[in-house]
Amino acid sequence: MKVRTPILSINGSDSTGQSGIQADIQTIAALGGYAVTAVTCISTLATKMEQGARGMGQEDTDIHSISPAPCLLPLAPEIVVKQVEQSISLLHPKAIKVGLVADGETVRLLRDEVIACRRLVVAPGIFDADGRQMVGDDVVEAIKRHLVPEALLLMLRCRDAEKLLSISILTDDDMLEAARLLHEMGAEWVLLRGGQHAKGRVTALLFNFSTFHFFTSYNVDGWQRHGVAAALSAAITTRLGMGDDVPTAIRNAHDFIHSQVVYAKPDETGGRAIDIYNRFVSLVAGHYREAHDVAFYADRLCITTRYLSGVTNNVVGKSPKQIIADYLMSEAKTYLDTTRLSIQEVADRLGFSSQALFCKFFKAQEKRSPSEHRSA
């Protein structure tokens, strides 16, 4: 019997299962890890007026708004710490994620419990996906003082980084400066997400003392969906626990989340077609560099290319060939827009046998060449 790698998630509880500890368990298990947990707080839904009346989250002057907002009920610090102590002493997790913690004293005490872990991912939930501050300023200060210096990887939305650093992040250069400051505070690696300075794109930045790399996606709505950030951090933590270095863990986790969360379709009917579609997109995310033909994927799904075509047309109105092409184009544009790689190097990375074939493919999809796209 295969022993699965224990991964500890320290996070809040979201009863909807879309985020929080419940979603972390699903992500860790899907990647082959064994989820160990410590619940820090319970999240319920309240109106913004109710949230303000209870003193939870950020101030909101729009008293007429009644849109749902998370209301956090923190567990006592000693209860949270006891869960962490037992998990570490009994199961010795290979990596730890610290997510949403809603109490400053809990943050302080957690630092002493997780400090010995070499693979610590700190992904604090300061703002939710709708931009509402979920924790008090005392918690923000505690995160900055006690957890950031211990992180192998610090994961933040740009909005979170603005709050931690009291600065504005409006450009790529601002993201670089913010990452540098966070690195100087002690985080070995910094992953900033959610930059939207370029219209129609969402930008992320990976930074450490010797290198940095920008990532860009055109699927803004997908990457900004509720629960995606939490799932990504859980996936990265799992891959780190399985032995990946930080850049490799991020790449593998990105491919998984890209297919399973961002582009995958929810199985609302329980139908076989949705399951096949999601498995197909997951395979594309893992093999697009070496396989561009539909037959490769149909073979691994143990179905015919004709059957796969019927599935994808019914689910998203596209052929399997077009889905593969869309994925390749998304990656191609990311390389062209965010790196200095030559056209030949981009073609090589995407698995094309020659620059000419890549340019022909690109022009057929985009109606202009890679060079024209890059100079636009």
Tokens coding 245: 């270095």
CATH 3.40.1190.20 residue ranges of the chain are: 5-262
The pLDDT of residue 88 is: 95
Report the C-alpha gap between 257 and 76 in whole angstroms.
33
Residue 11 makes CB contacts below 8 A (sequence gap 6+) with: 20, 21, 24, 37, 38, 39, 40, 97, 98, 99, 100, 230
> CATH fold of 5-262, please?
UDP-N-acetylmuramoyl-L-alanine:D-glutamate ligase (3.40.1190)
Q: Do the Cβ atoms of 71 and 44 come closer than 8 Å?
A: yes
Residue 60 has what pLDDT? 39
What is the pTM assigned to this prediction?
0.67
State the architecture of 272-375 in CATH terms. Orthogonal Bundle (1.10)
Average per-residue pLDDT in the chain?
84
Residues of the chain with CATH 1.10.10.60: 272-375
> What one-character-per-residue DSSP string does 300-342 give?
HHTS-HHHHHHHHHHHHS--HHHHHHHHHHHHHHHHHHH----
**Residue, of 178 and 331, whose pLDDT is higher:** 178
Burial of 316 (0-12, 13-18, 19+ CB in 10 A): middle
Question: Is the pLDDT score of 346 beyond 70?
Answer: yes
pLDDT in tens, 360-376: 999 999 999 999 999 88
Q: How many CA atoms lie within 13 A of 77 on its CB side?
A: 12
In the structure, what pLDDT confidence band is assigned to residue 281 with cuts at 50, 70 and 90?
confident
Closest to 39 (Cα-Cα) out of 26, 24, 29, 54: 24
Lowest mean pLDDT, pick from 96-100, 134-138, 252-256, 281-285: 281-285
3-state secondary structure of 201: coil
Average pLDDT value for residue range 123-144: 89
Looking at per-residue pLDDT, the higher value among 55 and 162 belongs to 162
